[in-house]
Amino acid sequence: MFERPASGEKAVLVQLDLNQGELQERLGELKLLVESAGATVEAVVTGRRASPDPATFAGRGKVEEIASTLAAHGADLVVFNHALAPGQQRNLERALQCRVIDRTALILDIFALRARSHEGKLQVELAQLEHLSTRLVRGWTHLERQKGGIGLRGPGEKQLETDRRLLGVRVKMLKGRLAKTEKQRKVRRRGRERGNALSVSLVGYTNAGKSTLFNTLTKAGAYSADQLFATLDTTSRRLYVGEGGNVVLSDTVGFIRDLPHALVAAFHATLEETANADLLLHVVDSASEDREAQIDAVNQVLEEIGAGDVPQIMVFNKIDLTRASPAVNRDECGNITGVFLSAVTGEGVALLREALAETARETAAAEDAKRAAQE
């Protein structure tokens, strides 16, 4: 098992062209992820394959190239911008004699760094353990040895079986704790529903500016930073929007392309806040050249968590970087579809408040009409 240095890991990145497209954007995002995890990028190894090699993902020749790159740069970590099977990861570590992680493990590591609340830490640990459960074999050099010796005699359970059993106990305990917090969350949600306040969730690609916009609107002081996954914990505040009354605005975790399924499953209680919202403000980094792919990635995750049918208003943020003017877009029926603004400078934020007020009034009128029809 390879020890992780306390700090200053030097990483070699591996990005293979498997005909998935957007290679430069994917590579740029991987660099940001690695830097967010606290490592420095020493070199990048690229290549093209029709399909992954079953044994090492990259193939023998490419593994030799990675090994020489590691030696040339004195690096101690290899990061694949792909999902590796447990066997592929083991074979790569044997061949390269250093730690090898894939995109899923990297994102899980960043989530572990960012988690602040008790619930967030529980969710991250659950996702990490479920990911680890298929890779336990990597950590042991004595897998085939039975327990034995003075004080260790007993049922003859293999070390790996013991570890899996203990891991299973821990996973069960975490799921129990998260179930309790989920019940508490549902009680709070019912309380808001009784208050008849429009429920609005901010969603979007990581680092699109959701938390900055949340703070600009609510003066909440929620943590925001120019980094990936700055926000993991859902924060909710009441926001007065004039004639529309109060709405409940929630800031949520950012999404990313190929978001690990283990994370989606572990964070389902947090993400449920989004699925149960009346309206989604889909925040887009309008200055990003990759914005269309980012929009698609967010919509894919929304579909996965059951929020695909929740009404959306697109919020095109960072117009201070694109020199666009504050504006509101409407469809042919007059419904608001988009707002252009800058959360940093405040330009266009008043337009978003007006859009929320209009939506809140229309939703309240529809609810009143529904109740009248039932009576």
Tell me how far apart the alpha carbons of residues 178 and 266 are, in angstroms, rounded to a whole number: 9
Annotated ligand binding at 233? The verdict is yes
How far is the C-alpha of 233 from the C-alpha of 120, rounded, in Å?
6
Q: Is 372 annotated as a binding residue?
A: no
- Interatomic CA distance for residues 259 and 275, integer angstroms: 17
Measured CA to CA, the distance from residue 50 to residue 16 in angstroms comes to 10
Is 317 annotated to bind a ligand? Reply is: yes
215 labeled part of a ligand binding site: no
The answer to the question of whether 262 is labelled as a binding residue is no
Is 46 buried (19+), middle (13-18) or exposed (0-12) by CB count in 10 A?
middle
Q: Could you tell me the maximum CA-CA distance found in the chain, to the nearest angstrom?
A: 80
Cα 25–235–105 angle (5° rounding)?
40
Residue 242 gets which letter from DSSP? G
Please answer whether residues 287 and 324 qualify as being in contact, where contact means their C-beta atoms are separated by less than 8 angstroms. Answer: no
Q: Is 211 annotated as a binding residue?
A: yes
Q: Is 46 helix (H, G, I), strand (E, B) or coil?
A: strand
Q: Is 229 annotated as a binding residue?
A: yes
Confirm whether residue 47 is marked as ligand binding: no
Query: Do 299 and 308 contact (CB within 8 A), yes or no?
Result: yes
Q: Is residue 205 marked as binding?
A: yes
Four-point Cα dihedral 206, 123, 106, 260, nearest 10: -70
290 annotated as a binding-site residue: no
> Does 305 belong to an annotated binding site?
no
The secondary structure of residue 6, as a DSSP letter, is S
In DSSP terms, 80 is beta-bridged to 14
Tell me if 287 is assigned to a ligand binding site. no
Residue 253 assigned as binding residue: yes
Q: Is 109 annotated as a binding residue?
A: no
CB 61 within 8 A of CB 50: no
| Annotated binding-site residue? 286 | no
105 — alpha (psi -120 to 50), left (phi > 0) or beta? alpha
**Six token digits for residue 62:** 């490419």
Q: How far apart are CA 322 and CA 304, in angstroms?
A: 31
Number of Cβ within a 10 Å radius of residue 151: 6
The number of CA neighbours under 13 Å toward the Cβ of 133 is 15
Euclidean distance between CA atoms 127 and 234, whole angstroms: 17
Beta strand pairing call for 10-17 and 40-48: parallel
* Binding-site residue set: 204-211, 229-233, 251-254, 317-320
* Binding-site residue set for Mg(2+): 211, 231
* Binding-site residue set for GTP: 204-211, 229-233, 251-254, 317-320
